[in-house]
Amino acid sequence: MTKKDIGIGLLGLGTVGSGVASTLLSKSDSLAEQAGALLVLKKVLERDISKSHAFKIKPDTFTNHIDEVISDPEVAIVIEVIGGEHPAIEYIKQAITNGKHVVTANKEVIAKYGHELLSLAREHNVALRYEASVGSAIPLISPFQQDLAANDISAIYGILNGTTNYILTRMSQEGLDFALALKQAQELGYAEANPSNDIEGIDTIYKLAILSSLAFHTEVDPQDIYREGISRLTPQDFRYAKEFGYAIKLLAIAKRAGETIEVRAHPAFIPEESQLANVNGVYNAIQVEGDLAGKLIFYGQGAGALPASSAIIGDVLTIARNICHSVSNVSRVKLNQKLAVKPMSHIRTRYYLRLNVADRPSVLSQISEILGKNNISISSVIQKESDLSSQTAVLVIMTHPAEERAVQKALEQVRQLTVVNEVGNFVRVEA
């Protein structure tokens, strides 16, 4: 079979871009076998032309003008691995408008503009694929569109960010505090110098927006997703979690509830015997619950140049095969359901409360009275760390399911009690 080569334009030659470029070059033969045509790296958008030596790419492949990539008639597929919102979104739109198929790993752009970009791609009769945007090499986007398409999805629970999962694993296993665990993650290259995107859950809500929109066939604006980071967690919380039989994870949650969906990402207690509780280090895992499939879990590395290349080149191969077979590459993703996001104040779950209180007999009754008046019932309570000198103690309360707004209101009232020194933390509990 001799087919015309398929030209690739690569936007960005950072960690992921380098992985993609070197894989395209080193696996050229086997990829051609898979695709049915030679995949040729025609253009690379990268300022630093010295990088061309490392990849044995002809220097004139490199350019720092986006137009030289997306207007090149020999480029059929554009891979965007610049990351971030700008200029990636503009480049992707221009590439699509120029009739190029686009493969991207950009969770921020897909979370914010996915619906618009898919429409634009349909209009221009090209593919827009983004398997690498969530869970890296873990197949998720295409299973939701294809293998699981017969299911009504009821829930997704995900550990979607390797950096925070690494930090939480160290805190749990070694009793480190957050700052030290973060510092070590940074030293090992698992966390960035400015880690806020990861530790504040921003990365997680982008990924959750993408998954939940596919699962529920609806647009999910990442701004509508409730978000809480992991920096408030302390070694104490991990100790008490263990005592009650739980692990603590930064959990992305999406649930269908009639014509609304619940979407949120925050630290959560999960039973330590659950599969997700045993996902440690930089690994990601996504649990999907469907009416037919039951519970499925997908597990793998959520980051890194090679896992991302696996997903990106998988997408490229799908497009290339369609080109070789003269088959339309137009996406058939439908996000045409109109499901409202349930306000966070209305969600119901169980709660872990850690309070620093005066070590006096009446304390528990005052606190439980407030909880009771707010319709929050206690499932268990332990008093810990009585300190004779300061006359303080730590009260750890696990509640039965209660409404978020009731818990928030109760905590406001609890904070006013003179016997309560501090609400140390509260963490939602997911069964």
Indicate the residue among 152 and 412 with the shorter CB distance to its own copies: 152
Site for its own copies (CB under 8 A): which residue of 50, 223, 278, 377? 278
Site for its own copies (CB under 8 A): which residue of 235, 271, 300, 401? 300
Site for its own copies (CB under 8 A): which residue of 223, 328, 390, 408? 328
SS3 of 104, please?
Answer: strand
Strand partners, 385: none
Is residue 25 within the footprint of its own copies (CB under 8 A)? Answer: no
Indicate the residue among 23 and 106 with the shorter CB distance to its own copies: 23
Judge whether 4 counts as a catalytic residue. Answer: no
Choices 203-211, 328-336, 351-359, 420-428 (CB under 8 A): range interacting with its own copies: 328-336
Pair type for strands 348-358 and 420-429: antiparallel
Is residue 295 within the footprint of its own copies (CB under 8 A)? Answer: yes
From the CB of 288, what's the least distance to its own copies, in Å?
Answer: 9
Is residue 291 within the footprint of its own copies (CB under 8 A)? Answer: yes
Is residue 298 within the footprint of its own copies (CB under 8 A)? Answer: yes
Is residue 131 within the footprint of its own copies (CB under 8 A)? Answer: yes
CA dihedral 304, 306, 308, 313 (to 10 degrees): 170
**Could you give the angle at which helices 28-35 and 15-26 cross, rounded to 10 degrees?**
80
Contact track, its own copies, 308-327, x by CB under 8 A: -xxx-xx-xxx--x---x-x
Return the half-sphere exposure (C-beta side, CA atoms, 13 A cut-off) of residue 125.
5
Helix H, strand E, coil C: the string for 186-236 is HHCCCCCCCCHHHHCCHHHHHHHHHHHHHHHCECCCHHHCEECCCCCCCHH
SS3 of 430, please?
Answer: coil
Helix or strand run (H / E) with residue 312: helix 305-324
Is residue 142 within the footprint of its own copies (CB under 8 A)? Answer: yes
Is residue 338 within the footprint of its own copies (CB under 8 A)? Answer: no
From the CB of 118, what's the least distance to its own copies, in Å?
Answer: 16
Whole-number Å distance between alpha carbons of 131 and 216: 17
Q: Nearest to residue 57, comparing CAs of 95, 8, 94?
A: 8
Q: Radius of gyration (Cα) for the chain, nearest Å?
A: 25
Whole-number Å distance between alpha carbons of 274 and 265: 18
Choices 29-37, 57-65, 349-357, 412-420 (CB under 8 A): range interacting with its own copies: 29-37
From the CB of 137, what's the least distance to its own copies, in Å?
Answer: 4
**Active-site entry in 42, 43, 112, 207:** 207
Active site residues: 207
- Interface residues with its own copies (CB under 8 A) are 23, 27, 30-31, 33-34, 131, 137-139, 142-143, 146-152, 275, 278, 290-301, 304, 306-307, 309-311, 313-314, 316-318, 321, 325, 327-328, 330, 332, 334
